[in-house]
Amino acid sequence: MSKVYNFGAGPAMLPEPVMEKIQQEWLDYQGMGVSVIEISHRAKEFVAILEDAQALFRELSGVPDNYRILFIHGGARMQFSALPLNLAGRKSGKRCLYFETGNFAKLASKDAKEFCNVEIAASSAETNYDRIPEYDPAIFTDDVSYVHITGNNTIYGTRWNQFPETGDVPLVADMTSEILSRQIDYSKFGVIYAGMQKNLGPSGMAMVIIREDLLGHADAKTPILLDYTAANKDNSLTNTTNTFAVYTTKLVLEWLKGQGGVAAIEKRNEAKSAKLYAVIDASDYYRGVAHPEHRSIMNVSFNLPSEELEAKFLKEAGAAGLYALKGHRNVGGIRASIYNPMPMAGVDALATFMQEFEKNNS
């Protein structure tokens, strides 16, 4: 079929050169005569892939040396349980502060409740999560085990522009939908985690980046494969890891390096999202979901004048090769997910389609 641009929120598109490379070496990894998914996780060839992925992530992200890079089964949602199991015990009161900035932020606090004393630091529920809420920094007291934020809110298309200054309280961020999309000062965080299926690779696994001094606090009832200390000790090979995900992520990181790294991709991501926001802002037809000051550069969510027009938009966009633009059921409408791999040409095609659709349907 003709060219398709995939705006899916995740599992999302991967870079075309990565997909082609996987296809090329699928039946014979580096002359071994077997596929990369058919070799042991303890084979030297696979361990090299794992270590390359870690080294590339460290190089691209600039994460300091006193942070460990772990691969853990299950995606970000598994971390919603793993995080409190590993970190709540830092303080006897197990007070954990959660910012409620959207659907996944809420789920993170909900899943944590069995393992710690969850307190909602602030919420933007009142404005249907169209922004990052105001808060009082005085809440970050020394008896708090950690503070949790969701860096980028996939459904509503918002993000933190200024991260909270939490002082000695570890700041934890779910960066699933924006990892490596913008430059971040990792030293401000205690833990960053990200499901892979948006900017890193395929679904089923998360990267967890943790400051070394935060290891060693896991609850005794932590399943061993969710225990950050065990994962660190075994270099993420406590059991058979998801070898396909680690391999693909390594290729994505190599691709990102070839694109000029995070600084370069951030500029491109700014330019990509700016094009879509420009169409929205130039029109009374499209209404952006996110407050302009809190807009994401990864997910652009918007509505049309009616649900009927939204259905027509989705149908015609699909026919034009603009795939998976349907908004999440919580907000409806349209969502364009434009992660690192989305080329400018895809955004241009969508912007043009939006303008023409408005002209033909006003």
Judged by the rule CB under 8 A, the positions of this chain that interact with its own copies are: 1-4, 6, 8-14, 19-20, 22-23, 26-28, 31-35, 37-41, 43, 73-78, 80-82, 85, 111, 114-115, 195, 197, 202-205, 220-221, 223-226, 238-245, 321, 323-324
Least separation in angstroms between CB 176 and its own copies = 10
Phi and psi, residue 62, nearest 5°: 75, 20
Which residue stretches of 9-164 are H helix? 16-24, 44-61, 75-87, 103-112
Least separation in angstroms between CB 263 and its own copies = 26
Measured between alpha carbons, how far is residue 104 from residues 210, 297, 330 in Å?
20, 18, 11
Least separation in angstroms between CB 168 and its own copies = 28
- Report residue 229 as tokens: 């200390």
For its own copies, which is the closer residue by CB, 130 or 178? 178
Alpha-carbon distance of 300 to 222, in angstroms, equals 37
Least separation in angstroms between CB 234 and its own copies = 11
For its own copies, which is the closer residue by CB, 177 or 303? 177
For its own copies, which is the closer residue by CB, 39 or 139? 39
Residue with tokens 């095609």: 349
Least separation in angstroms between CB 322 and its own copies = 11
For its own copies, which is the closer residue by CB, 231 or 280? 231
137 dihedral zone (left: phi>0; alpha: psi -120 to 50; beta) = alpha
Alpha-carbon distance of 108 to 246, in angstroms, equals 24
For its own copies, which is the closer residue by CB, 242 or 273? 242
Nearest to 116 by CA among 145, 79, 139: 145
